[in-house]
Structure 1
Amino acid sequence: MHGAVSDKSDTKTESSAVPGDSSDTTRYDFMVVSNRLPVDRCAPGEPGDDGSGWRRSPGGLVTALAPMMTRTDGAWVGWHGAADETVEPFSHGGMDLVPVQLSSDDVELYYEGFSNATLWPLYHDVIAPPEFHRTWWDAYRTVNRRFADAVVRTADEGATVWVQDYQLQLVPRMLRQARPDLKIGFFNHIPFPPPEIFAQLPWRQAIIDGLLGADLVGFQRSSDAGNFMRSARRFLGASVKQQQVHVKDTEGDLTHIARAQAFPISIDVQHITELARKPEIIERARQIRQDLGNPKTILLGVDRLDYTKGIGHRLKAYEELLNEGHLKVGDATLIQVASPSRERVEQYRLLREEVEGTVGHINGTYDTIENTAVRYLHHSYPVEEMVALYLAADVMLVTALRDGMNLVAKEYVTARTNNDGALVLSEFAGAADQLKQALLMNPHDIDGLKDAVMRAVKMSPKESARRMRAMRKQILDHDVDHWSADFLNALNEKVIRDDS
């Protein structure tokens, strides 16, 4: 990891060196903190079962951090996924895991409420209206304190702590107050809104103050870091110079310098590449095409079922292309994978009904006896099946209305080891900053989206190879190891105070 963290033998100790604590609990000098632990419960015999009752979770954050955690032998703090249940610390897949307990009320108020019905829509440009409830905010503060306390108990003297994502924005300040010896990093995996939108949040000052407890606050895009620094200046009156925020105590004395920078997250390139070259996965991709009637063009969308992903815009554009005769069922098929998401939140229930209604309408209108217009799959799939789908698809559609990064776009490009295929990518996804050779478009512009889809369908092999080769090089040079090393090296840099 390029010297970003110490070797395995040094990262955990049986120690009582923690300030104010004399217990012999295992201490770690590198810790990751996120809402969820990187494991899910599984029944015996289920895919991924290793006999422990747990399997590694899918998803971008786990993909990004698990390889690093197994190398460093650090600890991961998070909720284990079941409400009203106490689980003791345990190890899985080379990682020590420190569970945080959540009650049913915590899940409803802190997670489904404040995190996903207040912050998520607010941070995604209020595509859906955020709700502001004081009881949700109270629960958010309480649960953030619980996560911070778990770190305080188990972090060694001078430990590095890397807090992840919007559910835990108060944790950095809580850690700094309790343990000023810690080196604290925070990474926000979703967008950070401009001050004009962030201004709506009644607790905007507390959130900014919470984040400024970190030594380094990371974002997906430079524009997100800029939005954060503008909010720090506007709502806290913070002194912001270049990428540095001078954080002061109530007496006006400088306590530390918090930096805000962009660190675009990436994927485990080696793993995706190895899967894409496996004969059985290549054969599975061939079978997928055959099962669909071997159409000339397979278009693919892979998303969580979320209103930020632009699934409705994608379906509208596709239906219009069918109606206008630019695409024809039999020649073209759209596979839409929509993995279940936050199904107890009302906005998500309504979205599922809307998407399934639209798919039913398109198929009812355009299906033939032999062929279907949209193959809609409301499931989650293992990575092996996803790579087979990437190989089967001629065109990948990423039409997010707002997305921190979108790792699916990077996975698709990485899987195309023959440098074929085409990526249609929303300019509102963070990946657009790196994958400039994709067919970039504004998903709100349905005509523009249709034009991009048809350009992808008709793209010559020579142009496809040129674009894909450039995108693959970018991702291969900036994989997940590069992301984590960049962040941790920056966190451990000596800060030069800029008083100019």
Structure 2
Amino acid sequence: MPRPETFDLVTLAHALPAEVVAAGWLLRRRAADPAAGFAAATGERDGVWVALHDVLPRDAQVAGAWLTGLFAPSSDIEEYYLGQCRETLLPLMHEYGPPPQFHQPWQAAYRRVNHRYAVVAARLAAPGAVVWIHDYHLLLVAGYLRRARPDLRIGVHLQAPFPPVERFLRMPMRDKVMRGLLGADLLGLPDARSAANFLDAAHEVTGLRRGDRLLLADGRMVVATAFPPSIDAARFAAYAADPGVRDRARDLRESLGDPRTVLLSVGALDEHEGVERRLDAYAQLIAEGRVDPLTTVLVHVAAAGSEAAHPAAVQERVDRQVAQINGMFSRLGHPVVHYVRHELDTAELTSLYLAADVLLALPLRQGATLAAKEYAATRLDDTGRIVLSEFSGTAAELPEAAIVNPEDLIEVKDAICAAIELRAKPDDGMAAMRRRVREHDAPKATTAFLDTLDAVTAYRVPDKARATCAR
């Protein structure tokens, strides 16, 4: 089928939902929504996905949708991504780590890259099309598009948490970012706290009156509400039922020394992940005699693709901490902390979820903790326990987990000990979490977001005139 000139659905993201393999393109299956819901989004619409890429062939397709690469000069990409995204927006929104850095060249590059996205989207979108914009990399695009193509139905979906108003006000680009976001018809935030923070900030910056979930901007209704990122639950459940994956889980436990208890932690080497606090809690439990190092191991999987501003500094501290804990408490050939510093494929990750008795999901602030959802999706026998941070948006979705303040090590340690005691007992709470993750998986969440956007814009009189994207 020849590639269309315009599309009913234009998805904009920092990265492609696919990667090159020997046989062509392969959908990235572990990525958060939007990639996990990409097939659902394009099932009934002609869709194209636009992301930064300078060598993408024009006819590239995946999951029935077209892919379009967007070129930007390397100097712009470096200042936009390594500067504004990673050293300004990421620490600003997560409220942890080194203080956000504010530099005018980064801000200018961020505006230029966002404008490039808007120009391409305006060209590719059919009259009245849906444009689906993803995350903090592209906060200005909706505003540019609204001025250029008022006929478009625009949704912005943030996976990073939106910061409290007093923190957002520190950003020199706050007016431009707010105008950008208010260009959307629907703004999806990862949790209710982020939605409230956005509405407060919009009122503070613009003076617009706010409701519980909406604002009126330039005579348009802008709806802002929680749309938590999710996972492809059916895929994880299928791997969990696979005999080969289950055999691999048994082999993993045996390779760990066949311990009585396996604790698992999955998280990038980012300041807001709180990896060092998890290790502190575990080391203290051993030192206090509440956990036996002869029968318990902790496995931490650090995602290789961290977007942290200074991942090398976090990695150095974690490396040192792991070495100290193992030096103090391990037997020869049997470390008490096993540290994996590379990305695992879905089968290997699922085998770890099956091998683990307790998942420690303890970010200091996070829009969604997908590892908790993935773990729940794989526990087909309803055993296992999750210790989950109250500062993750996922805590509201999985209230049956042991919800704790990750800053309170006493509370964290008590929750870990209780989870260890209950780990092997089938639990109605785990069954409820698994059911909820399945009922609100990425394809369904994608459909819900796009259906809501359709409803929000259903009664708007379209203006199909095209204009020039203005900076």
TM above 0.5, yes or no, is: yes
Kindly indicate whether residue 453 of structure 2 is the aligned counterpart of residue 491 of structure 1. Answer: yes
Structure 2 residue aligned with 1:133: 103
Residue 406 of structure 1 and its aligned partner are, at CA, apart by 1.0
Which of 241, 246, 249 aligns to 1:282? It is: 246
Q: Separation in 1 of the partners of 2:386 and 2:143?
A: 40
Which of 1, 15, 18 aligns to 1:39? It is: 18
Aligned residue pairs: how many? 457
Structure 1 residue aligned with 2:429: 467
Asked whether the 8 Å contact 1:293–1:330 carries over to 2, the reply is no
Asked whether the 8 Å contact 2:143–2:184 carries over to 1, the reply is yes
Residue 36 of structure 1 and its aligned partner are, at CA, apart by 0.6
Structure 2 residue aligned with 1:21: none
Q: Separation in 1 of the partners of 2:228 and 2:63?
A: 26
Structure 1 residue aligned with 2:185: 215
Structure 2 residue aligned with 1:243: 213
- Cα deviation 1:163-193 (Å, max 9, x = unaligned): 1101001000111111111110011101001
CA separation of 1:102 and 1:65: change in aligned 2, threshold 3 A: farther
- Cα deviation 1:297-355 (Å, max 9, x = unaligned): 00001112211111000000011111112112230000110022358x66211001000
Residue 13 of structure 1 and its aligned partner are, at CA, apart by 8.0
Kindly indicate whether residue 173 of structure 2 is the aligned counterpart of residue 203 of structure 1. Answer: yes
Q: Match of 1:186, as an amino acid?
A: V
CA separation of 1:213 and 1:144: change in aligned 2, threshold 3 A: same
Q: Match of 2:441, as an amino acid?
A: D
Q: Separation in 1 of the partners of 2:361 and 2:454?
A: 35
Residue 367 of structure 1 and its aligned partner are, at CA, apart by 1.2
- Cα deviation 1:257-282 (Å, max 9, x = unaligned): 11111112221111111110000000
Structure 1 residue aligned with 2:373: 410
Residue 153 of structure 1 and its aligned partner are, at CA, apart by 1.1
Unaligned runs of 5+ in 1: 1-8, 15-25, 45-50, 249-253
Residue 102 of structure 1 and its aligned partner are, at CA, apart by 3.0
Q: Separation in 2 of the partners of 1:170 and 1:303?
A: 29
Q: Separation in 1 of the partners of 2:3 and 2:275?
A: 48
Structure 1 residue aligned with 2:81: 111
Structure 2 residue aligned with 1:68: 40
Q: Match of 2:270, as an amino acid?
A: D
Q: Separation in 1 of the partners of 2:353 and 2:188?
A: 30
SS of equivalent residue, structure 2 residue 87: helix
Q: Separation in 2 of the partners of 1:190 and 1:260?
A: 14
Asked whether the 8 Å contact 1:63–1:267 carries over to 2, the reply is no
Q: Match of 1:421, as an amino acid?
A: G
Which of 355, 358, 374 aligns to 2:318? It is: 355
- Cα deviation 1:79-108 (Å, max 9, x = unaligned): 13xxx6575452234220011113321232
CA separation of 1:29 and 1:124: change in aligned 2, threshold 3 A: same
Structure 1 residue aligned with 2:344: 381
Q: Separation in 2 of the partners of 1:89 and 1:245?
A: 40
Q: Separation in 1 of the partners of 2:387 and 2:411?
A: 11
Kindly indicate whether residue 357 of structure 2 is the aligned counterpart of residue 401 of structure 1. Answer: no
Unaligned runs of 5+ in 2: 460-471
Structure 2 residue aligned with 1:227: 197
Structure 2 residue aligned with 1:56: 27
Q: Separation in 2 of the partners of 1:438 and 1:241?
A: 32
Q: Separation in 2 of the partners of 1:437 and 1:158?
A: 42
Structure 1 residue aligned with 2:278: 314
Q: CA RMSD in A?
A: 1.9
Q: Match of 1:417, as an amino acid?
A: L
Q: Match of 1:27, as an amino acid?
A: T
Residue 414 of structure 1 and its aligned partner are, at CA, apart by 0.7
Give the TM-score normalised by the residue count of structure 2: 0.93
Structure 2 residue aligned with 1:3: none
CA separation of 1:97 and 1:448: change in aligned 2, threshold 3 A: same
Asked whether the 8 Å contact 1:266–1:479 carries over to 2, the reply is yes
Compare 399-408 and 233-242 and name the one that shifted more.
Answer: 233-242
CA separation of 1:276 and 1:310: change in aligned 2, threshold 3 A: same
Q: Separation in 2 of the partners of 1:342 and 1:280?
A: 30
Residue 461 of structure 1 and its aligned partner are, at CA, apart by 4.5
Which of 214, 228, 243 aligns to 1:264? It is: 228
- Cα deviation 1:36-66 (Å, max 9, x = unaligned): 1112234x4xxxxxx22x4323421354322
Q: Separation in 2 of the partners of 1:59 and 1:128?
A: 26
Structure 1 residue aligned with 2:463: none
Asked whether the 8 Å contact 2:376–2:434 carries over to 1, the reply is yes
- Cα deviation 1:356-398 (Å, max 9, x = unaligned): 1101111111110242111101000111100000000000000
Q: Separation in 2 of the partners of 1:467 and 1:496?
A: 39
SS of equivalent residue, structure 1 residue 240: coil
CA separation of 1:373 and 1:461: change in aligned 2, threshold 3 A: closer
Structure 1 residue aligned with 2:329: 366
Asked whether the 8 Å contact 1:112–1:342 carries over to 2, the reply is no
Q: Match of 1:268, as an amino acid?
A: D
Which of 304, 308, 316 aligns to 1:340? It is: 304
Kindly indicate whether residue 138 of structure 2 is the aligned counterpart of residue 168 of structure 1. Answer: yes
Q: Match of 2:374, as an amino acid?
A: E
Asked whether the 8 Å contact 1:414–1:475 carries over to 2, the reply is yes
Give the TM-score normalised by the residue count of structure 1: 0.88
Asked whether the 8 Å contact 1:63–1:268 carries over to 2, the reply is no
CA separation of 1:269 and 1:450: change in aligned 2, threshold 3 A: same
Kindly indicate whether residue 447 of structure 2 is the aligned counterpart of residue 477 of structure 1. Answer: no
Runs of 4+ with deviation above 4 angstroms: 84-87, 494-497
Q: Separation in 1 of the partners of 2:249 and 2:423?
A: 22
Q: Separation in 1 of the partners of 2:33 and 2:57?
A: 22
Asked whether the 8 Å contact 1:13–1:28 carries over to 2, the reply is no
SS of equivalent residue, structure 1 residue 410: helix
Kindly indicate whether residue 52 of structure 2 is the aligned counterpart of residue 79 of structure 1. Answer: yes
